[in-house]
Amino acid sequence: MENKKILLGVSGGIAAYKACELASLLVKEKAQIYTILTQSATQFITPLSFKTITYNPVYINQFDYELVEPLHIELCQKADLLILAPATANLIAKIANGICDDLLTTIACAYKGPVLLAPAMNTNMWENPITQENIKKLQEKLNYQIVLPASGELACRTVGIGKLAPIEEIAQKAKSLISGQNPETPDCKLKNGKLNDIKVLITAGGTREPIDPVRFIGNRSSGKMGLALADEAYERGANTILITTNAPNTERPYKVIVVETAHQLQEAVENYFDTSQILIMSAAVSDFKPIQFFNSKIKKTTTDSDWHLALTRSPDILETLGRLKKDGQVLIGFAAESENLLKNARKKLENKKLDLIIANEVRPEIGFASDYNEVYLISRDRLQEPKLLPKTTKTEISKQIWGFIEEKFLNLKQN
């Protein structure tokens, strides 16, 4: 990225402060960053912050500068990439509909190079059908590359999808676009990807086993790792199906099936497993479920100090699939462990008849609910040589996992 000229457009959302960190990362890659702020963005972050980080001018009003050519044309001509981060619902709507009422939207309209857009907004705004339609329009008509927002606690104190994607993920995507590695087709599918037309089935999230209409037995899985794997499989050309229990946003260019319980997950997986060539079982399936479901909320009583809940085992989906697997199918599982990680992962690999297992420790900074992960890859013919993928974003981990799968199972043929 050395000496590459990047326009960084920042719109008015609380995530605007994170754009400073993004600018800093790109400067460390020796890129030249020119920042454009909307008037609303200046309410969250000052121009001086970006000027100090980038050592370059910061632009706000297109009529404040004396140049031979109009400012938006001058900036567009020198740029190798335009990044819009954070991109609010308002900015996305204006660009998608050709509105040019400030410097940033005018630049977006005039710029003909690659554009990377990183949305950030309230969950309801992100899930609004109009916002989704605008995103789709930018992808299909202008070939915008989208770094989808993450899930977590938002500024409004609610939890949902809408957080700006991890800065490292945005920077990595920018680096790929600058180096010409970005997919050429509007739907992000690789024309000559090694997974082209391979049928991939992925599960994600943690199952919930209901106790009564209010309570359930569950786990802390957020579904982020499975979602990242599904996104990456699709980008590499795979015919992708995602079965997930966590679906704040199901707007994906591939098929998404939403389930809740282990039984529903098993039913959905078995419906598609026979025609799938690769299955990645990323979902965290509850090992136990209540024997009885109570039709009304269980109340406290004055006579009982303790209450006992009877449990029974949930179906072992991976074990069943291991028995059903046909020649040519690749079965991949996950192992999240709090101790004896590699020992337990190898045992699961053998018992479930898996081709590959992806193992990670349960730690606060990685794994469940985190945007980061660190995993070991253990394949059937490399039991003594686990491959470590060091801590990085789940998006980057997913790329490395698929790279390993492609290298390992290149002889895949369509059914």
| Residue 182 DSSP SS3 | coil
Other residues' Cβ atoms within 10 Å of the Cβ of residue 219: 16
Q: How high does pLDDT run on average in the chain?
A: 84
**CA proximity to 394, closest of 214, 150, 195, 186:** 150
- Residues annotated as catalytic (active site), given as ranges: 156
Q: How far apart are CA 71 and CA 402, in angstroms?
A: 43
Which tens digits make up the pLDDT trace of 75-96? Answer: 787 789 999 999 999 999 999 9
Beta strands in 300-342 (DSSP E): 311-313, 330-337
Q: What's the Rg (C-alpha) of the chain?
A: 24
Sequence ranges of the chain with CATH classification 3.40.50.1950: 5-178
Average pLDDT over residues 381-396: 81
Are 268 and 285 in contact by the 8 Å Cβ rule? The answer is no
* Residue 394: predicted pLDDT: 87
Q: Is 218 left (phi over 0), alpha (psi -120 to 50) or beta?
A: beta
Are 262 and 209 in contact by the 8 Å Cβ rule? The answer is yes
Q: Are strands 115-119 and 145-146 parallel, antiparallel or unpaired?
A: parallel
65 pLDDT band (50/70/90 cuts)? low
* Residue 187: predicted pLDDT: 40
Q: Which of 7-21, 233-247, 333-347, 388-402 has the highest mean pLDDT?
A: 7-21
Q: How far apart are CA 206 and CA 246, in angstroms?
A: 7
Q: How far apart are CA 188 and CA 190, in angstroms?
A: 6
* Residue 151: predicted pLDDT: 67
Average pLDDT over residues 118-147: 90
Other residues' Cβ atoms within 10 Å of the Cβ of residue 125: 16
* Residue 247: predicted pLDDT: 58
Residues contacting residue 348 through CB under 8 Å, at least 6 positions apart = 333, 335, 354, 357
Query: b/e map of 307-330 (b: 16 or more CB within 10 Å)?
Result: eeeebeebeebbeebbeebeeebb
How much of the chain, in percent, has pLDDT values that exceed 70? 86
Domain at 199-408, CATH from 3.40.50.720, 3.40.50.300, 3.40.50.2000, 3.40.50.10300: 3.40.50.10300
For residue 36 the two structure tokens come to 């454009």
Q: How far apart are CA 155 and CA 11, in angstroms?
A: 16
* Residue 382: predicted pLDDT: 57
Sequence ranges of the chain with CATH classification 3.40.50.10300: 199-408
Model confidence, pTM? 0.55
Average pLDDT over residues 49-57: 94
DSSP assigned state of 312: E
Whether pLDDT at 63 is above 90? no
50 pLDDT band (50/70/90 cuts)? very high
Residues contacting residue 245 through CB under 8 Å, at least 6 positions apart = 204, 205, 206, 207, 208, 221, 223, 258, 259, 260, 265, 283
For residue 154 the two structure tokens come to 């938002």
* Residue 186: predicted pLDDT: 36
Which tens digits make up the pLDDT trace of 260-305? Answer: 898 889 989 988 998 899 999 999 888 888 888 888 888 876 556 7
* Residue 250: predicted pLDDT: 59
24 pLDDT band (50/70/90 cuts)? very high
Helices (H), 283-375: 317-324, 341-351
Are 164 and 86 in contact by the 8 Å Cβ rule? The answer is yes
> Per CATH, which fold does 5-178 belong to?
Rossmann fold (3.40.50)
**CA proximity to 84, closest of 107, 117, 111:** 117
Whether pLDDT at 189 is above 90? no
| Residue 203 DSSP SS3 | strand
